[in-house]
Every structure is written in C-alpha cells, then in structure tokens.
Amino acid sequence: MKKQNLRSMAAQAVEQVIEQGQSLSNVLPPLQQKVSDKDKALLQELCFGVLRTLSQLEWLINKLMSRPMTGKQRTVHYLIMVGFYQLLHTRIPPHAALAETVEGAVAIKRPQLKGLINGVLRQFQRQQEELLAEFAQSEARFLHPDWLLKRLKKAYPQQWQDIADANNQRPPMWLRVNRNHHTRDAWLALLEEAGMSGFTHDAYPDAVRLASPAPVHALPGFEDGWVTVQDASAQGCMTWLEPQNGEQILDLCAAPGGKTTHILEVAPQASVMAVDVDEQRLSRVYDNLKRLGMKAQVKQGDGRKPAEWCGETQFDRILLDAPCSATGVIRRHPDIKWLRRDRDINELAQLQSDILDAIWPHLKPGGTLVYATCSVLPEENSQQISAFLKRTPDAALRDTGTPECPGQQNLPGTEEGDGFFYAKLIKE
C-alpha cells in the first residue's frame, strides 16, 4: 500500500465538510480504505479532532496570518489547522507533527507553500502560551457556532456551559447486550475474561459502557450477535415503547436499525416493520438484522405519506425516531456543529410535526407511540409535543413529563448517554 500523507488527507476531508457541507461519515470511510489499519485510527483522530476544536484552530489562524488562504490555496488553510491540532491536542512529537504537516503541501501539489506552513506552525510554538491565554478569554473558547450557543443559553440558562463542554468531549462507547443470548452480568463476566472492563447503567437494563473504547471484533460474541454498539440513551427508547410478543410494531425513520433490532431482542415474536426514507441507509438495517439473525419487514418510504407503504395498516406500537438537528450527539459527530444552520431548526420542527400528524391515524386505539429525537432543542422536543397534544384530542401523554413540560430530556454527560428526548403518547 502506497504511503499516504495523512495530514493532507485530513485537511481535504475537513475542507469537504466545511466548504461543501458534506457529512464526515460520508467523506472519511473512502479515505480510510486507502491507508493501512494502523493509520486509519490516526486519520480519524485528526479529522474528528479538527472538527471538534475548529473554532480554536480558526481563531489561531486569524491571529497568526495577515490574510486568509482562498481559492485553490484553501486546502492549505485546513492543513495548517491539522498542524495546530497535533501540536495542541495529541501526543505526536512536535518535530514529527511539523515535518509531516509541511510535507502535506507536496501531497496536495502546493510544494511552494512549505515555507509558509512551517513558518506559521513555528510562530505558533513560540507564542503558544500567550495565544492560548488570550483564546481562553474569547467567545470562541466554547468551540460552538454562535447561533447554537444562543439557543442553548436560552433553553438551558443554568446548564448551557455543561452541555457545550460535554459536546466537546470524546464520547464513551456504549454497548447493548442481547438478552436472548446472555444476561448483562453474564456478558460482563465474558468481557472481563477477555481482559476488558465495563460499567452498567442505572436506568437501561441492557446497557454496558466500556472503560475504554475497543474494536468490535475484540468484543465477546460480536459476530454472533451477542452484543451491539448503541448509545445508552438510544436504548432508553425501549423503556417507554415496551414492545410485546405478538404485536405489530412500526419503527419509523429506522436506519441504521439499532432500535429495530432492540425491539426484536425485547419481543422476539413481534411483527416489526422498519421504514426509512433513505434507500442507502436501509442497507445498514439489513446488515444489522443479518448479524443478529433476525427478520423484519424493511421498506423505503416517506414518513409523511404512510398510505404509500403500509396502506390502511394500524400498529399496536410505533417508535418515531424523528429526523432532527442531532444536537444531542455532537460529541459523536462534531461536524454537526458546522453543517447545521439556525434556519434548519424550524424546517426540521415542521417536518417532525408533519410526520407525527401523518402517522397518528395508523396507531390502534389504546396503542403507544414513542416520539424520540437525539436533539436537545425544545423546538423539536417539548414544544413539538405540546403543540401536537393541543391539536390531537385523542392523544394523551404518559409517564414522560407533564402537560406543561412534556417529555423526558436527557442531556449529554461524560459517563452518561447522548442528548436524547422521549415522549410516550397513548391513543385514547
């Protein structure tokens, strides 16, 4: 395998996210296929790290360069950021970080700019202490775009800073033990035999947090479906959905299938339909079902037009994991901070409202609908459910919040799950 310059690859990936609005989860995998296994992790660390700390790196560039790099030189702007990130946030020896980053200019066919890159990075090393002291006083220190900070401050006047801090951490690795194979404690014992350790969750009975993240192939029985990677908060959906054997259950907006398979672990004799609008992402639902040896009816369809994919069918239970801003999972997907725009929130709230109204007639009387998002913004969560309850006379809130403040909101926490919202609705 030809030796690639990881710094230039990371710079190009970040450029595609920031300048072209592409998702890192689409940009990174094809790049990782070009490098050795050993280098895959470093490439991921550089891309995720730069996007996590982008405000800081941008601030430093503005301090150290008299004018921004534009046009065809723009990749060099991101290459310098990759350099700063290594010097500030990794254990890579500074001389190696510098040499590899400068060499990155050759890989992107800008060898004439090696001197500039070297000069800026060395200047940063000389002024690092005073620059970081000044940065610590700036608004950019929260590493979030202004519009999002404004919304967090409004919604959580006491907690906004904790939420921003949690978003800037590396996420914990949560697993879901398949109760059809082992109890959680029995699987934990197997994990310890394999030389790893994990912690349980007070509220979610299948959840295990690894003491430190591990590759899936190292987990006992992963290939045999004994365990699945899934955040604790996402697992919380089952607490409210309470699927039962023999029921007809709809998982709407189901890709990549983590909740579909969790339904079938809790109620193996349920009849489950998994629907998502995105044809490509549905392939991951099939993959998850196959690994776990499960069957579900998988369909591509728009949640606003259920008649097109389920006719007149009515379901005992519906899990609607609604399309949302994903502001609760920023620590897993730091590109969300820079891909989302303030105007997206009202558009998403309208889409959620349209799906809720369209799918409600497909719930049987006495049935349960769990509305969930991985957002922390009230417009998509408590306000959304308040408005729905007001316009839907046969909908009642159960077990999750109060009519004045409907739903349960989880906030991201260092040793906890992601930011997540749930509302349990019963059709009267």
Among all residues, which ones are annotated catalytic?
374
Name every residue whose Cβ is closer than 8 Å to that of residue 202 and which is 6 or more positions away in sequence: none
213 is in an annotated binding site: no
C-alpha distances in angstroms, 221 versus 18, 197, 313? Answer: 39, 15, 37
162 is in an annotated binding site: no
DSSP string, 85-112: HHHHH--S-HHHHHHHHHHHHHHTT-GG
Report the alpha-carbon distance of residue 155 to residue 272 in Å, rounded: 36
What is the token pair recorded at 295? 């069957």
21 is in an annotated binding site: no
276 is in an annotated binding site: yes
**Cβ atoms 367, 424 nearer than 8 A:** no
Name every residue whose Cβ is closer than 8 Å to that of residue 8 and which is 6 or more positions away in sequence: 75, 79, 104, 105, 107, 108
Report which residue type is found at 187. Answer: W
Residue 18's nearest CA partner among 261, 394, 252, 335 is: 335
What is the token pair recorded at 346? 């009202």
> CA angle, 112 as apex, 108 and 114 as ends, to 5°?
75
418 is in an annotated binding site: no
Q: Which residues pair with 299 in a beta bridge?
A: 275
Question: For residue 205, is the peptide bond before it cis, meaning its omega torsion is within 30 degrees of 0?
Answer: no
- What are the φ/ψ torsions at residue 137 (nearest 5 degrees)? -95, -5
257 is in an annotated binding site: yes
What is the token pair recorded at 292? 């776990």
Residue 372's nearest CA partner among 239, 179, 205, 203 is: 239
271: left (phi over 0), alpha (psi -120 to 50) or beta: beta
CA 144 to chain centre: 16
Long-range contacts of 217-224 (CB under 8 A, 24+ apart): 218/194, 219/175, 219/191, 219/194, 220/187, 220/190, 220/191, 220/193, 220/194, 221/181, 221/182, 221/187, 221/190, 223/291, 224/181
253 is in an annotated binding site: yes
What is the token pair recorded at 3? 């030796």
302 is in an annotated binding site: yes
**Binding-site annotation: residue ranges for S-adenosyl-L-methionine:** 253-259, 276, 302, 321
**Binding-site annotation: residue ranges:** 253-259, 276, 302, 321
